[in-house]
Amino acid sequence: MFNPIYIFMKSILSLILTALAFVPAFSQRNCGTMDVQDRLLKEDPTYQQRMNEIEDFTEQFTAYQETHGNVRTVYNIPVVVHVVYRTTSENVSDAQIQSQIDVLNDDFRKLNSDVSNTPSAFASLAADAEINFCLAQTDPSGAATTGINRKYVNKTSWGTNDNVKKSSAGGVNPWDATKYLNIWVCNIGGGILGYAQFPGGSTATDGVVIDYRYFGTIGTTTAPYNLGRTATHEVGHYFNLRHIWGDASCGNDLVSDTPTQQTSNYSCPSYPHVTCSNGPYGDMFMNYMDYVDDACMYMFSNGQKTRMQAVLAPGGARASLSSSTACNSSGGGGGGTSCGTPGSLSSSALTSSSATVSWAAVSGASSYTLQYKTSSSSTWTTVSGITTTSKSLSGLAASTTYNFQVMAVCSGTSGSYSAAASFTTTAASGGGTGTCSDNYENNNTRSKAKTIAVNTEITAKISTSTDVDYFKFSNTSSAKNIYVELYNLPFDYDLQLLKSNGSVLATSQNSGTTAEGIIYNNAPVATYYVKVYGYGGAYSNSSCYNLRANTSSSAYRGTENVATALDEADQAILEKAVIYPNPTQGALSVEFNTFESKETNIKIIDLTGKELMNMPMNLEKGNHTIELDLSSLANGVYFINIQQNGSVQTEKLVITR
């Protein structure tokens, strides 16, 4: 029987279903990590105990770092990407995969250009996590690889049951999870953007899974999750970070410097968004571990950095990744000998269109490969076959910050790229506003310190209440004495001299606009850092200050403008130890000078504070070289303490083979 009402309703329903077919599957970020975690805890009763042990280690590591000045190292993590696809769209391109690796490197090294959007209340908390990522160059058998593994499977979606990680279920087994970060890219389904496995779980399922529509920045990526931040979020979980709201109302994410917040945030909230009595600054919703859109998340905090570093430190749950050499073309799946990584990256001869970058030599290197890019770009320019330890760059843009990194090549075997450094070209000549210009920004952290020539006056400015300027310079064996001057101050500015590891040697804090100065006579030959900052937030956006780092063969005498002059007793403490080679494969030399007969004690300590070696000695006045055999210690980061008459010098020590 013909029923016009039935036909009409059926037509309306058909139109509704057709319209819904064109609506995105979901509009809010949805991470499956905690649901997967709950399942794994039920499947493996021993998992909780391992997690508790990891938290105990993290607490010890955090306490030790706070006591010893947050001395850390940069880790290189080999990545293998398993593309498990059914359709052409799901089979993401190599370029799309590389775009995701670039995002991970930018986000975990605080090289992302949008970190500048961080509100001033949180800017000082934004951290360089000091973790680099590379596509693996060797597979577990030692064969060469691109780090990309593809498999066709006639399966519509995979869900979060880990079947995509199991060849027995049609997926792909992980490569050795102790030596590779495994990432699976597939159609997850169910509105899930991605999920990860926390440290401590089974190596048979360890890694990260990302939906193909939210992986990288090109190709199949879908707004508002098209900037690669889903992988940044999930890799944060992989390194033991919790959601920033602690997965509970006003919960605990186990990090001290992230404000307590009520729940997850979505889209792009207005700042400040106050919850859980966390005013006046409110939620840190721009953190990678919240649920906001990709364009609105751009920072990890210092506390989150500590948690991530804890799992990679010796004794940490993912420490084995730090000794994997799968980033090297002869890495043998994490074994074998690698070419060293260049350090001491610096820049000089900056103009509006050129710069010279340099680095420390690597033993056995036949050449070097340099990559550089503007800080806002995701594409590197590569220069290979460099046979010196410096390179002049031209054709640069004026007033632009560039990032650069260097890799050594040893007898055809490539090592790992160094941690990225940066420089900023000067402003173009001509035009101008008549006000002072600062050619050294961005130099607001020690890692972004700008190299300045000694015995040369420079001008710069503190342009905001939160602005801090860092510079660096080196003395020489023929001009060891240092005198740093800060003068022509528009407001009350202060001055610090720091060692290369960031510890403060001296501070000059004269009142008002009185010039500041620091003298350090007979200083050890090294790179030193200068920090300039406004007292109580003092600044001037129009007036510069003058800074000059002087070195001389003759000792400097204190003047009325020198607030701090390091005396001989201070120098005896600060000068006494030079440690080499560092990193070392096991043989270590410690050189130091004592100004009088002293009882000396050398200790090796791991990152949890455990004492591994203790060598008490009675030494006469003079120069001494102590040889240490550390071959029994595992690869990783340690501290060496040299103690004399109650004075202690602590330095970071890296063992790598």
Residues carrying an active site annotation? 234
Q: In residues, how long is the chain?
A: 657
Instruction: Specify which residues 647 forms β-bridges with.
Output: 644
DSSP 479: B
- Which CA distances in Å does 343 have to 102, 417, 420? 21, 10, 10
CB 576 within 8 A of CB 645: no
- Distance, CA of 164 to chain centre: 30
Angle of helix 229-238 versus helix 94-108 axis, rounded to 10: 60
Q: Hey, is 549 helix, strand or coil?
A: strand
Give the span between the Cα atoms of 549 and 482, in whole angstroms: 7
The amino acid at residue 184 is W
Amino acid present at 330: S
C-alpha to C-alpha distance for 593 and 571, rounded to whole angstroms: 10
In sequence order, what are the residues at sequence separation of 6 or more whose Cβ sits closer than 8 angstroms to the Cβ of residue 48? 41
Contacting residues for 536 by C-beta, under 8 A, at least 6 apart: 492
Cβ neighbours of residue 489 closer than 8 Å, sequence gap 6 or more: 513, 514, 515, 516, 545
Which residue has tokens 């008002």? 512
Q: How far apart are CA 427 and CA 438, in angstroms?
A: 8
Question: φ, ψ for residue 296 (rounded to 5)?
Answer: -115, 10
Residue 357 and residue 394 in contact, taking contact as beta carbons nearer than 8 Å: no
